[in-house]
Structure 1
Amino acid sequence: MKRLWLLLLVWPQLLLWPLLSWANDSTVMSWLDNRFRVDPTVQQVSFMVKRDQKSNSVVLVRPDGHKYYAWRHPDNVSWYEEPGMDIISIENPMPGPWQAVGKVSPKNQITVLSDLKLDVDNLPARLYQSETIKFTARLTQNGQPLQMRDFLDRISLSVVFYEYIENPDDLPKEALPMPIPMGTFADDGLGFDEVAGDGEFTVALPVELQPGKYTVKVSSSNGIFLRTVEQEVLVYPPPINASFIQGRGQQEAHQVVISGEEGALKTGSLAAHIEQVSFEGETTISQQAALPDEERLTVWLPNGELPGRYTWSGWLYATDSFSDRELIFQLPESHFAVQAELQLDRNLNAFREQQEAKERQAEFARLEAERQAARSKAMKIIALANVLVIVLVAVGAVLWRKRKVKKAMESAELSVPGS
């Protein structure tokens, strides 16, 4: 009799326990009718329903009998579906017993998640154009990181920037600023993300924006659950500059010269990682860090020597003097051609040599022409002088003979008597 009374006292609690126990935790349901109860204190709930691969999405029945479908549901419901799974999130769900109607797989069951929250890091008050920043968001349940991989692997969190405007609610939709997608968070343990499946989503956020004020929205972009977090940020011009100087000739190294805006970066905080890729695909890495008293940095890149097309890219690191924040800037891939430069030099040198040879030949021809002209002129003068001498001699001889004849005649006349 005591055992019977004990069974009668415990049996109702055993019936109610599966419906109430998940209020503060995730619970896996396995009842034949797929029912579950929502506590009145729950403000948000998500259902993960695994069903037969070839079956249609389930129908979610509210406590009052109202039905929700994947293609028809109110705005406070988000619905994600794929073959074999539905993930349904509801804001401010109706308290009471809910039911999922469909071909739910007995092995896979229904998982209920409550009190999911999205916490997002605060962006720095001062962002810089062209910098890359590690930005993290966390998904928690009851204040603890959510680590359910089936759910996390399907979360897609996006970061969107909007140009800041005052009172956007007072403007028509067509006058609102266009969204600028900046990146998607990942919890895959790759890139900037530290651990896969730990509930922390990370994105390497490239701030490729014009300087100005922006509104930042972080939200679920694939309908898993309804969450949006907004922040306002200011984007400033980049405080750092990198310029490439190509080596002249095959022996001189190339240079990447890095300098910061005066007063914007901490002295001695500059560092660089530069990758140079040859036309054959060979990668050469050059790294350099500034000395404690240096405000500029020069990274020397080896000269490939062989003619061809080369590329270079890299990362710059510095410390912001305003907030002591560590800054990362990605240098986009740039190209330079060794062959074109060398061929141009050879052509230019050959052209200069040809021009110099032509000038030397022209100068020699001019001098030779001047010498020939001078020689010809001298010969003409000599010939003219000789002719003049001959003429003068001839005239002198004629005059001398005439004078001699005249004197002879005068002498003859004087010697004749009586004349």
Structure 2
Amino acid sequence: MKTMYFVTALCAASLFTGNAYGVKQVEVLKRDGHQNEIPLLDNRFRIDSKIDEITLLFFRKSGAPAVILVRPDGSKYFATDSVKNPNLDWFDELSYDLVTIKKPMAGPWQVIGSILPDSRIVVLGEISLEAEPLPSMLFRGETIKITGKILNDGEPINTNLFRDVVSLNVDFVSTNNENFANFGAGIQEVAEFKDDGRGFDERPKDGVFTGEFTLDFPAGEWTPELYVATPLLQRRIVQNTIEVHEPPFVTEVALAEQDTDEHLLTINIDPSIVKPETVIIQGKIYYPNNEEQMFTIDAAAKDSRQLSVKNYDWGRYSVELSVFGTNINGREFMATLPTYKFEVERPIEAVPEIDPATIITPDKMIESEPVEEKMAISTIISLIVGCNTLILLLGWLLIRIFVQKKPIKFKVKLPFLKKKKTSEGEVADTEKNQVGKNGSKNDRSGEILNLSMTDD
């Protein structure tokens, strides 16, 4: 059975000068445990006929199109060919292409694209992940430093571009032990580190992942897991189970009894986890009036520390605590404790007691109310109604005279006047009927009379 090789090509456009006779011949990709990387010459590399599978990693300018692979027979591989070609897997990312080819064609290959300079071809051998074991005794709030390395055949990978796409992740997995507080807590993703010299990483591109993280999850029994996971490779380290304890510090406060006294904050230290004589405490106090005060409590050979807090009357106080010291195993530690808060209630003013005999019930108030006062109230109501009516009437008159420009006329219809007018109308109608019978006719002027005689 043919040996399977996983080869990572960190490819870039290396600029060469001179004619074709001055260019170094392309080296054959092979792995012998001694030479695991070779330079990429003129964007070309050669694949040996014994390789059954090869993985190539091409770094290009961020946002540039995916590279194109030219096979020895002149045919091309594109990123979209991986959909229909079962022998081709292609991961097209923002700044690199990861290509896996099964049964590649032997011979010289060429890559076309915006490849980054100073690239090399790395033949991946036995990839391993090394990390320092975590301390066996930890407590919640503690800050832990961790380092890890990715090795190729036991040696660090010195290709910078390769480390750019690899990050070290740290997870804490709950053992689901019902005797601990983290039962059913699942997986806590603690941190992710890169070899870029940022954050807590000590030096960039040195092949060592360095970082710090805080144990800000519940106390209990956990299994630390460190891993690197990319489309290129996956490596995981499962360390021994550890127990994360509750903070070995208990804080309590004694409130001031008098306005002139100060509040007293006491921090008790658990000597079964840390050495009290090595503990140094520093922090900040936040007062109700928005004032802030920094403080430091030096080490002392006793199991408690006390801090005086100024009494700024009632309100909420907050105290941030950071602790430095050495545990019973001789390991130095640094921890951030949960913010301690306490509140002074607002004082309640004493109200003198009321004699029940002086209390007047509503019924007694109604009975004792004088009649004259009731009448006065009804009179006031009548005056208010009358005044409002008068105001409305005056307003209507003003609108009619000055706005509508109409005279004030009052039409009063009396019944006896209407009856008289009706009688006069009936008399006039009777006279008209008599004139009609006599055959008289006059016009509106009354000057023409009908004097003709009848035939009789």
Answer yes or no: is 1:53 the counterpart of 2:63.
yes
1:269 corresponds to which of 268, 278, 290: 278
1:316 corresponds to which of 306, 317, 323: 323
Residue 268 of structure 1 aligns to a residue whose secondary structure is helix
Deviation at 1:128, TM superposition (A): 3.0
In structure 2, what is the equivalent of residue 405 of structure 1? none
Deviation at 1:332, TM superposition (A): 2.7
Deviation at 1:254, TM superposition (A): 5.0
Letter of the 1:305 counterpart: Y
In structure 2, what is the equivalent of residue 171 of structure 1? none
In structure 2, what is the equivalent of residue 286 of structure 1? 295
Distance 1:177 1:61 in 2: 52
Q: Which runs of 5+ in 1 are unaligned?
A: 1-10, 167-175, 363-419
Distance 1:316 1:67 in 2: 59
Distance 1:131 1:331 in 2: 8
Answer yes or no: is 1:139 the counterpart of 2:119.
no
- Contact kept, 8 Å, 1:251 with 1:305, in 2: the verdict is no
Q: 1:160-214 CA deviation, whole Å, 9 max, x = no partner?
A: 2223489xxxxxxxxx9943322222444455433344332223141623422x3
In structure 1, what is the equivalent of residue 133 of structure 2? 122
Letter of the 2:59 counterpart: V
| Deviates most, 282-291 or 18-27 | 18-27
Deviation at 1:120, TM superposition (A): 0.9
Answer yes or no: is 1:328 the counterpart of 2:338.
no
**Residues 190 and 259 of structure 1: CA distance in aligned 2, closer, same or farther (over 3 Å):** farther
Q: 1:350-386 CA deviation, whole Å, 9 max, x = no partner?
A: 22xx3xx549x99xxxxxxxxxxxxxxxxxxxxxxxx
| Deviates most, 110-119 or 301-310 | 301-310
Residue 15 of structure 1 aligns to a residue whose secondary structure is coil
Answer yes or no: is 1:303 the counterpart of 2:310.
yes
Q: 1:68-89 CA deviation, whole Å, 9 max, x = no partner?
A: 9697799xx9976433422569
Percentage of pairs with the same residue: 17
In structure 2, what is the equivalent of residue 180 of structure 1? 188
Distance 2:132 2:118 in 1: 34
Instruction: With a CA cutoff of 8 Å and minimum separation of 6, indicate the structure with the bigger relative contact order.
Output: 1
Deviation at 1:235, TM superposition (A): 0.8
Answer yes or no: is 1:234 the counterpart of 2:245.
no
Residue 152 of structure 1 aligns to a residue whose secondary structure is helix
Taking structure 2 as the reference length, the TM-score comes to 0.54
Q: Give 1:196-211 correspondences, 5 Å limit.
A: 196-201=204-209, 202-206=211-215, 208-211=217-220
Answer yes or no: is 1:152 the counterpart of 2:160.
no
- Contact kept, 8 Å, 1:59 with 1:100, in 2: the verdict is yes
Distance 2:280 2:170 in 1: 28
Deviation at 1:107, TM superposition (A): 5.4
Letter of the 1:127 counterpart: L
User: Which structure is larger by alpha-carbon Rg, 1 or 2?
Assistant: 2
Deviation at 1:61, TM superposition (A): 7.7
Q: 1:387-413 CA deviation, whole Å, 9 max, x = no partner?
A: xxxxxxxxxxxxxxxxxxxxxxxxxxx
2:226 corresponds to which of 218, 224, 243: 218
Q: Give 1:375-390 correspondences, 5 Å limit.
A: none
**Residues 85 and 328 of structure 1: CA distance in aligned 2, closer, same or farther (over 3 Å):** same
1:260 corresponds to which of 251, 265, 269: 269
Answer yes or no: is 1:31 the counterpart of 2:39.
no
Deviation at 1:122, TM superposition (A): 0.8
In structure 1, what is the equivalent of residue 113 of structure 2? 104
In structure 1, what is the equivalent of residue 174 of structure 2? 163
- Contact kept, 8 Å, 1:253 with 1:303, in 2: the verdict is yes
**Residues 136 and 26 of structure 1: CA distance in aligned 2, closer, same or farther (over 3 Å):** same
Distance 2:83 2:159 in 1: 27
Q: Give 1:85-100 correspondences, 5 Å limit.
A: 85-87=96-98, 99=109
Residue 25 of structure 2 aligns to a residue whose secondary structure is helix
Distance 2:90 2:291 in 1: 48
- Contact kept, 8 Å, 2:141 with 2:247, in 1: the verdict is no
Distance 1:267 1:198 in 2: 38
Letter of the 2:66 counterpart: N
Q: 1:200-229 CA deviation, whole Å, 9 max, x = no partner?
A: 2223141623422x3322112454532111
Deviation at 1:328, TM superposition (A): 2.9
Deviation at 1:284, TM superposition (A): 3.4
Q: 1:323-349 CA deviation, whole Å, 9 max, x = no partner?
A: 222233321344455xxx36x12x2xx
Q: Which runs of 5+ in 2 are unaligned?
A: 1-20, 178-183, 357-456
Letter of the 2:130 counterpart: D
- Contact kept, 8 Å, 1:131 with 1:330, in 2: the verdict is yes
